[in-house]
Structure 1
Amino acid sequence: MILSPQPTGPRSDFLRTLSERGFLHQCTDLAALDSWLCSGAGTAYNGFDLTADSLHVGHLIPIMMLRWFQKTGNKPIALLGGATSRLGDPSFRDTSRPLLNQEQITKNLIGIRRVFERFLAFGDNPTDAVMVNNSDWLGGLNYLDFLRDIGPHFSVNRMLTSESVRQRLEREQSLSLLEFNYMVMQAYDFHILAESCGCLLQLGGSDQWGNIVSGVELGRRIGGRTLFGLTAPLLTTTSGAKMGKSVSGAVWLNADRLSPYEFWQFWRNTGDTDVGRFLRLFTELPLGEIARLEVLRDSEINEAKKILADQITRLCHGLDAAVSETSRRIFEAGEVPAGLPMVRLPHSLRGAFPLVDAMVVAGLAKSKSEARRLIVGGGVRVNGGSVKDEALRLGDSDIQNGVIRLSVGKKRHVLLQPV
């Protein structure tokens, strides 16, 4: 298996783009995949389980891979795991995922489906994207027939060596039969898409490598097909933190889970050393322009961060410059215009609501003790005015234009609205 690009570089537009922008991590046979992609339009898929009603920024790498696949003249498939979501992917998790019922899965599917409409062009043309649900073929399987037809092609010995499974076993953490079957289900997905859609390539994150390879091998054993697997590195910041979390939680892609303003702000807060890498991965800016931006230093690097935030927010939310201008005013002028996160404060608490409780309710502090530390440290403002009294209570006199504005530092703002 080739784990890095060829010395001369890929010839196909897709692989060359992925290589130049930092997406390539592992590939089952890079040279053969490159030749296949040079021979005409190909079809590839990436799978997304329905564990929540929105995807988060950790999913942006595989989404951008599908987007580049389409932009370079190929046909992408977004597979939604309506069936596999009922099992739970054990990949690099310490515990089992909560089991979801069908009502939850359906709700999550509706929410997630909206994300792809921003990034991919769907339709009936040869390179238009399609969306499929693996419950269409997995939901009606006869278990005995499936075991007889597919089971012989899987070695339990080999499955136990998969990194995600091996780690759980080494830690003596429970691994259910449901989760152990996940690898088989995902491999069968690849087989079905290869057979029905001519899909020869599966894309994914590096945590899916074992599952992807199982699908490649199943295709060879069942139909003698040459299938390909390609992964991108799991994204972490330079500090080593896993990408996808903010101070207040997951950075969701749906606006009803995270406002466009908060989404923009997350990217504006990117560390200096991550700006160039994130511009390559999450924007379509020319590489020459990125090279110019990533060498900026000191205060000038903030301009690159604004461009990063503008570009990815426009891709994800389809917004114009108004979003970035709103955020720009908050960062640079200290203004707090409309459109900030709003938290409702029950009327019964007005006049006797401790500031420390308000900060926890607003998500500006994880606990009262953290809130007290922030207040005493001088990092908290009420309606723009600094406060240092940890015993302060909010009252009617603090309501301005129907809201109370709480701020921590220069970048985090919430409006409290009395009911």
Structure 2
Amino acid sequence: MGFLEVMQERGMLAQVTHEEELREYLSSGVRTAYAGFDPTGDSLHVGHMLPVLALRRWQQAGHRIIVLLGGGTAMVGDPTGKSEMRQMISEEVIDQRAEHFKKQLAPFLDFSSPEKGIVVNNADWLRELMYLPFLREIGSHFSVNRMLTADSVKARLEVGLSFLEFNYMILQSYDFYHLNKHQDCAVQLGGDDQWSNMLGGMELVRRKERKQAFCATVPLLVNSQGKKMGKTENGAVWIDPKLTSPYDFYQYFRNLDDDMVEKCLYYFTDLPAAEVKRLGNLRDKEINDAKIALAYETTKLVHGAEEADKAKAMAASLFSGDAGRPSAPEVLLKASEVPGESINVVELLTLSKLFPSKAEVRRMIEQGGLSLDGEKVEVHTFEVLTSRLRQADGIMVKKGKKSYHVLKIQG
């Protein structure tokens, strides 16, 4: 099957322009597609995965990819899905994050030769643009009236949209035009929330270059209630193992709602469609087999087989009901971070980054969902003896029903 057929079979195609024309275009040779990622955060997260996997499917179909890192567009900030203007980030931080993104994307995609795939950074052309020539050459092709109808703009008009952010669509469109001109790239892939921005680039290429250009989007990663996935009580589910451990990553997918399992098996694994359908049809307790398959395959894709094996074994140990203390991922603290004889439980769990804020720790305590070594923590004034953290076994921290970590002082 070709790219479009695979994407449709796996439910990964939300919208596509000129579908029959694109189908014919793809059948007549090796073609180039790109997807862009703005380095506005410290790491890629689960929400970035579908565009990444769309590029992967594109390569698997025998075509060439371009990963575009938004070192230029990150200086402006995409207003899509944001209720207020993003915090301004320095060029130095943006460039550091772009390099980190580049390393994170390498395991998913093949960059072994320029014929298979390349990574570019739009800072290389956007930061050097001259304002008046750019307005005359590109701005004349955009209608303000039409730009105001874009969802990303409409949603912000009532609360305020800066002129800086208003320019984002034009800059993203220029990226497509630049890659078409210099890399013969005719297809942009992206999340469905980027549809308006992507259409702007496609129309710019068709208008200025008089060449074929296409857009295809992947669905947003949402649950059955329409709520964005990829978040936990600790914040985003990151690709970086320093921010979200492979075990926590595994557990996120292991604990998905039943009605999301089949969809995510199609999205995040290479399992054949027939096997996905079989797993998706499991019910009651048997659905756990499908969840384990999803968690394992997704963790293997992101962190490798060794980490996936360890996470699976650790989860089995924790929830098997066997006697004795189960294994759990360790969180290590420096002795200098806990110098006294005791430390407040709220301070400790925030310091260890097991919770994103003190308010989250207090909320978990109030809900009765926090225990240390099997003993429920009843009050947020509870003091933890540092001597317990120095023991070889450390302290087993249980958050909610299924999240376990061993907290100890390093060395």
Report the TM-score, using the length of structure 2 for normalisation: 0.92
1:340 aligns with 330
Determine what percentage of the aligned residue pairs are the same residue.
40
2:395 aligns with 404
Q: CA 1:138/1:367 → structure 2, altered by over 3 Å: closer, same or farther? A: closer
CA–CA separation in structure 2 for the residues paired with 1:333 and 1:117: 39
Deviation at 1:388, TM superposition (A): 5.3
The question of 1:394 aligning with 2:387 is answered: no
1:9 aligns with none
The question of 1:67 aligning with 2:49 is answered: no
The question of 1:251 aligning with 2:237 is answered: yes
Q: In angstroms, what is the RMSD of aligned CA positions?
A: 2.0
Contact 1:204–1:231 (CA under 8 A) maintained in structure 2: yes
The one-letter code of the counterpart of 2:140 is P
Contact 1:356–1:371 (CA under 8 A) maintained in structure 2: no
2:365 aligns with 372
The question of 1:275 aligning with 2:261 is answered: yes
Q: Secondary structure of the equivalent of 1:325?
A: helix
Contact 1:341–1:413 (CA under 8 A) maintained in structure 2: no
Question: How many equivalent residue pairs?
Answer: 400
Q: CA 1:99/1:238 → structure 2, altered by over 3 Å: closer, same or farther? A: same
Contact 1:359–1:371 (CA under 8 A) maintained in structure 2: no
1:5 aligns with none
CA–CA separation in structure 2 for the residues paired with 1:402 and 1:276: 38
Contact 1:53–1:109 (CA under 8 A) maintained in structure 2: no
Q: Secondary structure of the equivalent of 1:341?
A: strand
Q: CA 1:209/1:82 → structure 2, altered by over 3 Å: closer, same or farther? A: same
Contact 1:55–1:253 (CA under 8 A) maintained in structure 2: yes
Q: CA 1:356/1:150 → structure 2, altered by over 3 Å: closer, same or farther? A: closer
The question of 1:189 aligning with 2:175 is answered: yes
The question of 1:261 aligning with 2:231 is answered: no
Q: CA 1:216/1:394 → structure 2, altered by over 3 Å: closer, same or farther? A: same
2:283 aligns with 297
Report the TM-score, using the length of structure 1 for normalisation: 0.90
Q: Any stretches of 5+ residues in structure 1 without a counterpart?
A: 1-11
Contact 1:275–1:304 (CA under 8 A) maintained in structure 2: yes
CA–CA separation in structure 2 for the residues paired with 1:301 and 1:366: 34
Deviation at 1:264, TM superposition (A): 0.9
Where in structure 2 are the equivalents of 1:191-270 lying within 5 Å?
191-270=177-256
Partner deviation per Cα, 1:38-97 (whole Å, 9 max, x = no partner) = 112111000000101211000001000000000011111110001000000111211111
1:48 aligns with 37
Contact 1:53–1:110 (CA under 8 A) maintained in structure 2: no
Q: Any stretches of 5+ residues in structure 2 without a counterpart?
A: none
CA–CA separation in structure 1 for the residues paired with 2:361 and 2:170: 47
The one-letter code of the counterpart of 1:133 is N
The one-letter code of the counterpart of 2:26 is L
Q: CA 1:175/1:332 → structure 2, altered by over 3 Å: closer, same or farther? A: same
The question of 1:102 aligning with 2:91 is answered: yes
CA–CA separation in structure 2 for the residues paired with 1:84 and 1:290: 38
The one-letter code of the counterpart of 1:73 is G
Select the residue among 74, 85, 98 that pairs with 2:74.
Answer: 85
Contact 1:67–1:119 (CA under 8 A) maintained in structure 2: yes
Q: Secondary structure of the equivalent of 2:224?
A: coil
